[in-house]
Amino acid sequence: MSERSEILRRLGEQSEPWDVVVIGGGASGLGAAVEAASRGYRTVLVERFDFAKGTSSRSTKLVHGGVRYLEQLNITLVMDALRERGHMLRNAPHLVHNLQFVVPAFDYFSLPYYGFGLKVYERMSGRLSLGPSKLLSRKRTVEMLPGIADAGLRGGILYHDGQFDDARYAISLLRTFEDLGGTAINYVEATGLLKQGGKIVGIQARECEEDVRFDLQAKVVVNASGVFTEEILAMDGVAAESLLAVSQGTHFVLPHSFLPGNVALMIPKTADGRVLFAIPWHESTIVGTTDVPVAAASVEPRSMASERTFLLEHIARYFGRRPETGEIRSMWSGLRPLVRKGGGKTSKLSRDHTILVSKSGLVTVTGGKWTTYRRMGEDTINQAAEVAGLAKTTSRTPDLKLHGWTDRSGGMAEAERVYGADLPLLQSLAENDAALDGLLHPRLPYRLREVVWGARFEMARTVEDVLARRTRALFLDARAAMEAAPVVSALLAKELGRSDAWRERDLQQFLDLAKGYIYRED
C-alpha cells in the first residue's frame, strides 16, 4: 500500500474528531497547520490541487517588511513583517538569505528622500537588521547594478532585505508539519461543511484522483483558501461577495546578463505609482510585478497585454533595451487576496491579514503576505483554539526550525541549497542508479533524482508538481521545462505505478499549461 493510500485509509476510517481541519495548502494554510501541530493539536490539512499551486508559488521571492508600506504609513504591518523576516531567516537559513538592494536615484531629491526612508526601515528592524543602508555615488551604483541604464543617474541607496524560494519554503512547511505529527494530503477538496445544531463539526471531502468521498469530523475548521476564500464562506451560508478584492501580479524571467551579479534593483515608484523589482534568482533575473484588479479568481491566471507592455516598457527604461522575445524565458501571473477596507486601487489596499469567525464557528484567515505567514498562523490558531475549546498553549513557532534546517549551505548552488540537511539523502538516490544523477535539461540546474525524491518524500503527483514547484523549472525556463517533461513523465509514472494512458494524459496536460508561461505578442 502506498503512503498516499495509507493516509486516505486513515482519513476514511477516522474514529474520533480531529482537533483542527485546515482547508488550503498555501502559505496561510500550511502556516496554520504547523502552528496547530506544534501545539499538540491533532491536525489534518487538505488541498484540492497541489501545495502552493496558487498565489504561494508566484510571489516576487522576497521576504521583506515592505518599503512601500512604510511610505503608506502602515507602520504596524512593516514592524510585524520585519520581525517575521528575522524569524524566517533564523528558522530556515537554507531557504532564506540576505540580499542587497539598490534604489537608483535619477534626481537629487530622491537621494535624501529614499535614503532617510530606508534608514528608518533599517532602524525599525532593530536587532533583526540584515545590514546598514547607505548612500551610493553614481559610480558605485553602476558598479553594483552593471546592467542599469545610467542616463541621468545621480546615485543610489543601498539597503538589505530577504530572499527565498517560495514553493520550496512551502514544501519545507509541509515536511515540518508531518515531522510534528500532522497529516496533509493534496488533491483532496472540501466539497461541503458538516453541521450539527448550526455549528460546524467537520467537512465533506473528495479525493480528486479516484473520486473517493468521505467526511472529516473536526472540533474546528480553518478556511485558509486564499483567493477562493469566498467559496468556502458560501458553503457556510455567508454572503461575502465584497470581502476580497483580487489583484493580479505578473513577472518576466530574463537571462542573468540583464542584471549581472548578486544585487537586486528596486524602483520604489514607477510613473503610475507601482513598485518594480529586478532580482537575481536561480541564475536568472526576475522582473516584476504588476498590480491589476481582476474580476474573479482563477486557478491558472494569465497575464494581460497591458501588464506585458508595462514590464517591457520599464525593462527598456531601466536596462536600456527591450528584451527579445526569446530572452523572456518564462512569465507567470499570481493572484493576491486583498481585504477590502474602504476600496480604492488594489495597489493601495493593505497586505495585512484578517481573521473572521462565523456564527457556525468557521475560522477564516485571508489577506496577508508570505513574510507574515507564521504570524497569520499563530493568530488563526489562537482563534481556532478558542472556538474549539482546545487547551491553550504558547506558540512555539517563532523559534521552530523548519525541516531541512542547516547553517552549512553557504556557497552551494541555489538549486541544491533549498534541500538543506536533506541534500545528502537526495544525492544518495543516485548511488544505486547513476542515471538519476543526470540533468533534467541542459538549461536547467535540476537532476533526475529530484523527480524520484519529489514523488517519494514530497507528495509530487504530476509532471506539473515536479516542474513547477518541487523544482522551479517552469518558472525559470518554460521551453526547457516542456522539453524535459517527457523524461519527467516517464520517471514519475514508473515511481507512482501509473498506466501509460495516465502518463500520456498527465504529460499533455502539463504541455498545455506550460504554453501559457511562454511570452507571446498579442
- Cβ contact 101:160 at 8 Å: yes
pLDDT of residue 241: 60
Nearest to 337 by CA among 374, 298, 363, 303: 298
Range scoring the smallest mean pLDDT among 297-311, 340-354, 363-377, 486-500:
340-354
Please report which confidence band the pLDDT of residue 408 belongs to, taking 50, 70 and 90 as the band edges. confident
Does residue 1 have a pLDDT over 80? no
Give the integer Cα–Cα distance in Å for 128 and 435: 44
Q: Kindly state the cell numbers that stand for 232.
A: 468556502
Whether 175 has a pLDDT exceeding 80, the answer reads yes
The DSSP call for residue 447 is B
The DSSP bridge pattern shows strands 183-186 and 292-293 to be unpaired
* Rounded mean pLDDT, 206-235: 95
Distance CA 7, CA 12 (A): 9
Write the CA distances from 308 to 121, 249, 252, 287, 322, integer angstroms. 31, 11, 8, 11, 12
Residue 205 has pLDDT above 80, yes or no: yes
How many angstroms separate the CA atoms of 236 and 234, rounded? Answer: 5
Statement: residue 155 has pLDDT above 70? yes
Q: What is the pLDDT of residue 342?
A: 44
Residue 72, pLDDT above cutoff 50: yes
pLDDT at 285: 96
pLDDT at 348: 43
- Domains of the chain (ranges; CATH) run 3-55+168-241+351-395 (3.50.50.60), 92-163+244-348 (3.30.9.10), 429-517 (1.10.8.870)
DSSP calls for 232-268: HHHHTT---TTTEEEEEEEEEEEEGGGS-SSEEEEES
What is the pLDDT, as a whole number, of residue 73? 62
Query: So what's the pLDDT on residue 176?
Result: 98
Q: 244: which strand partners?
A: 339
Quick one: pLDDT at residue 119?
86
pLDDT above 50: residue 431: yes
The stretches of 320-437 forming alpha helices (DSSP H) are 373-388, 414-417, 423-428
C-alpha cell at 180: 510534528
Confidence band of 382 (pLDDT split at 50, 70, 90)? very high
Higher pLDDT: 352 or 49? It is: 49
Mean pLDDT of 299-319: 93
pLDDT at residue 341 in the model: 62
- pLDDT band at 316; cut points 50, 70, 90: very high
Between helix 478-496 and helix 500-514 the angle, nearest 10°, is 160
Specify burial of residue 192 (Cβ count, 10 A radius: 0-12, 13-18, 19+).
middle
Question: 473, 440 in Cβ contact below 8 A?
Answer: yes
Minimal CA–CA distance to 495: which of 446, 462, 470? 462
| Mean pLDDT of the chain, nearest integer | 91
| In the predicted structure, residue 78 carries a pLDDT above the cut 90 | no
Per-residue model confidence (pLDDT) at position 117:
82
For the chain, percent of residues with pLDDT exceeding 70: 95
Q: What pLDDT score was predicted for residue 114?
A: 83
115 or 493, which is more confident: 493
**β-strand partners of 193:** 203
Question: Which range, 39-53, 129-143, 301-315, 396-410, is most confident?
Answer: 39-53
pLDDT value of residue 269: 80
Per-residue pLDDT band at 80 (split at 50, 70, 90):
confident
Which has more confidence, 70 or 84? 84
Instruction: Say which residues have a Cβ less than 8 Å from residue 307's Cβ, sequence separation at least 6.
Output: 248, 250, 290, 292, 333
Residues 6+ apart with CB under 8 A from 394: none
Backbone angles phi, psi at 127, to 5 degrees: -70, -10
Residue in 73, 67, 69, 59 with CA at minimum distance from that of residue 101: 67
Three-state secondary structure call for residue 468: helix
Instruction: Please give the average per-residue pLDDT across 261-277, as a whole number.
Output: 86
Among 33-47, 347-361, 422-436, 464-478, name the one with the lowest average pLDDT: 347-361
Q: Among 215-229, 305-319, 339-353, 387-401, which stretch is predicted with the lowest mean pLDDT?
A: 339-353
| pLDDT of 344 higher than 60 | no
pLDDT tens sequence across 346-378: 344 445 788 999 999 999 999 888 999 999 999
